[in-house]
A and B are shown apart, each in its own frame.
Chain A
Amino acid sequence: MIPELGNFSLILALCLATLMAVIPMSGAVSNNQLWMSLCRPLSSGIWVFMLLSFACLSYAFLTDDFSVSYVASNSNSLLPVRYKFSGVWGGHEGSMVLWILMLASWTYAVSLFSRNLPLDMLARVQSVMGIIIIGFLLFTLLTSNPFDRTLLNTPADGNDLNPLLQDFGMIVHPPFLYMGYVGFSVAFAFAIAALLSGRLDAAWARWTRPWTNAAWAFLSIGIALGSWWAYYELGWGGWWFWDPVENVSFMPWLVGTALIHSLAVTEKRGVFKSWTVLLAIAAFSLSLLGAFIVRSGVLTSVHAFAVDPERGLVLLGLMLAVIGSSLFLYALRAPVVKSNASYSMTSREVFLLINNIILVVSTAAVLLGTLYPLIHEAVYGEANRVSIGPPYFNTVFVPLMGLLALALGVGTFSRWKKTSVTYLKQQLGKVLIASVALGIIIPLVTTSSVNISAIIAMMLGLWIVLTIIKDLMTKTANKKNFFVGLKSLTRSYYGMQFAHLGMAVIILGVCMTSQYSVERDVRLAPGESESIGNYEFIFQGITDEVGPNYEAQRGTVTVLRNGEEYMTLYPEKRTYFATRTVQTEAAIDVGFFRDLFTALGDERGDGSWVVRIHYKPFVFWIWMGAFLMAFGGILAITDKRYRSKKPVPSALAENSGQGGKLAAEAS
């Protein structure tokens, strides 16, 4: 009965979404206040029914209702409760319910937090969100209903959740990732509403910015969690593989980053409008592309869902409808009027443009690399397939990020409209010299070896960090003292600097880990040991353990630091009862400057085991950087100017003529 209730809730949500797609939009066109204001109750209704549907599916999981085929194939009576709950989104069908629940939550949030948005704008935004919700609900109900029953032959027990997903990282990774993916639909809806109404001005950019930041912050955390999960759960110590599924989450992030920067220019200076709208459309389109690639099986990947061409076809139709029509709308309605705001070649506008170009080129490179196997096959035929590996991505991507880091330092320092070159030289000359000098000295002193990659990464990281410090000092120079100055700076300024600091931290983390990791796969008998630097790992032997739904062989590895006992690690090799799959559980000592990573290999017959021991310096910094970025994004949202009711400053009035011109042109 409960699963039917869930199914019925999905259908009700679909009905309400249909009303929302039509009524508020019609109200906005015909200027009918009542119709427009219906968007608020409708969006709360959709949210409530999606929540109910999600709750019903969770109930089916928690009560082991194996008559529901989705539950039967993704859960098991022995599964610990927390994994029963995360099993709700462990497979394709349930993850769609979570996806739509989040879409509904964003929609509802927009209606709650946009009190100072003009009603016609809100109505249009909500109607666009309604259209997207309809698309995904139809997709779920028609091709992948999680409430389908296995009537008559209900299995006695379920197939169990994929052991790889029985993990804390996998409980939290998909919700964050989906929040990010889906969150870009808000920026998209704002862009479409602006195109429809012809109101593509600074106010529009200001409304869009916090929503874009929020989605971007969620996506940053989602990607970082996914990478962290791969690092400790897949058991071979890597943290990014340029797998198609990783790439499709990374592309919206790259474009979203470009969008955040381009929105800043559009809000402050009223330029790059068409470009910003295009980025907003692109960020959401890439999210949809991600959903398509992961769920249709057009590309092979480590973590693809079950392959189903029919689902792919429906998703492709959804993309055609949503993206195709929005790009046509863009082509017909985007402003082509040349902007009358002027800026020089060394203005902040230009540096943000450089940022956008680098990020979009990076996205194009990742997209090309991801889709190249398909392109190659389309051109050369089925027998000739190619795979694009990390070498391609690293060769293209790493230099681009280096350029981005360089531009970042100058960019934050530049001023709007015009920045004199002598000012930049005077301000940044010493910073440049300091980062080059320290970049060479620090790696030489600490490692006493020359490693070009490490030196370059150190220079770039320091360049970003030192320009941030220098900028803080310049900004506070006229204040009574440094701390009073710090207090006077806005939250959005701090948000920016935290996110940039995150970038520096990631650059350092990635480079130090890839250059200085020590990886040993050694055969150890109980009592034998292996040393890395001042750490000594003593293998104490294996004990048998029994978990709730698996049995495990647990290794005990005592770690000595400088000859003194430091800690004990317990890597495991688990065999899950239901699927009989073997899963390696790495044991990791997480540290600020280094991780100690141990995993169990195979037994070698005489009681000795192959033990994988890694020393990974600075690997924690990769995730720390991502969290700093996300923190920066959230901090910027809390800036009080997004909450103020006062109209957009008149500094922008010079550009406001365009919106009117466009509206006139459109009508």
Chain B
Amino acid sequence: MNNRVKLFIPAVFFFLMLGLLLFGLGRNPNQVPSALVNRPLPEFSLPELNNVTTMINSEDLQGNISIINFWATWCPPCHVEHPYLVEISEREEDLNFIGVNYKDDLNEARLFLEEKGTPFRQVIVDLDGSLGIDFGVAGAPETFIVDSFGMIRYRHVGVINHQIWEDTFEPVINRLK
């Protein structure tokens, strides 16, 4: 190849990256339309973190609006959002907060909740990430709103904080009520 032509390689590479960034710009990284939104919960039966002989089924989550939060101790943003989850779960007592401990070390997960307090009524253990695959989870944290009939209504990717809760979660939850 001509040496002069080779010098254009960085420019080509740069424009490819620019295209990628432009693509990334058009979307909100926190709000992801999931294929599962407005579909029923996937079927599952998985153990509870603090009592691994108890199995939690998808039917158990019906009858109440549930907030399902995928988290793990290895995920820094989960540490960040955790105090707010504790706070909001104390305030919103009629919501059923369910944690899914995602591909984690169970002892560390228990310590984490013991140390920082738990916002969750129950914590589902998803050791191999199979429930994560059924939910189409990309990573942690991700949070789903499930209505009282077991239909998934909303998917949020990333940290939940006060503003996100007020701006996006509350409207969805009020509509479901």
Contacts and interface: CB of A to CB of B under 8 A. Distances in A.
B52 interface: no
Contact of A612 (B14, B115, B140): B115
A33 interface: no
Interface in A287-321: 289, 292, 296-300, 302, 307, 309, 312-313, 316, 319-320
A389 interface: yes
A371 B10 contact: no
Interface string A458-479: 0000000000000000000000
A383 B155 CA distance: 11
Interface string A336-363: 1000000000000000000000000000
Contacts of B32: 382-383, 385
The B interface is mostly helix, strand or loop, or mixed, namely: helix
Contacts of B114: 521, 523, 601-602, 604, 610
Contacts of B20: 371, 374-375, 378
A592 interface: no
Contacts of A378: 20, 23
A595 interface: no
B136 interface: yes
Interface stretch (B56-64, B73-81, B121-129): B73-81
B138 A324 contact: no
A300 B76 CA distance: 12
Contact of A521 (B80, B111, B159): B111
Given A581-B83, A602-B117, A336 B76 contact: no
Nearest to A164: B80
A511 interface: no
Interface stretch (A47-55, A93-101, A327-335): A327-335
A285 interface: yes
B25 A336 contact: no
A528 to B, nearest CB: 15
B27 interface: yes
A43 B140 CA distance: 48
A313 B24 CA distance: 10
Contacts of B117: 601-602
B176 to A, nearest CB: 22
Interface residues of B, number: 48
Nearest to B30: A300
B17 to A, nearest CB: 7
Contacts of A328: 11
Nearest to B80: A302
B21 to A, nearest CB: 6
Contacts of A374: 20-21, 23-24
Contacts of B146: none
A378 B19 CA distance: 10
Interface string A232-255: 001110100101000000000000
Contact of A324 (B18, B29, B136): B18
29 contacts: A296-B24, A298-B29, A300-B30, A300-B77, A302-B76, A307-B29, A316-B18, A319-B18, A320-B18, A323-B14, A330-B11, A331-B8, A332-B7, A334-B7, A373-B138, A375-B20, A378-B23, A382-B32, A382-B33, A385-B138, A385-B139, A386-B139, A387-B138, A387-B139, A582-B83, A601-B114, A601-B117, A602-B114, A610-B114
Given A383-B136, A386-B138, A521-B115, 19 more contacts: A235-B79, A236-B76, A236-B79, A281-B10, A292-B21, A297-B28, A298-B21, A298-B25, A302-B159, A320-B18, A324-B14, A331-B8, A374-B21, A377-B24, A386-B139, A387-B139, A521-B114, A602-B117, A604-B114
Interface of A: 234-236, 238, 241, 243, 274, 278, 281-282, 285, 289, 292, 296-300, 302, 307, 309, 312-313, 316, 319-320, 323-324, 327-328, 330-332, 334, 336, 371, 373-375, 377-378, 382-387, 389-390, 521, 523, 579, 581-582, 601-602, 604, 610, 612
Q: What 3 A-B pairs come out closest when comparing CB atoms? A: A387-B139, A385-B138, A601-B115
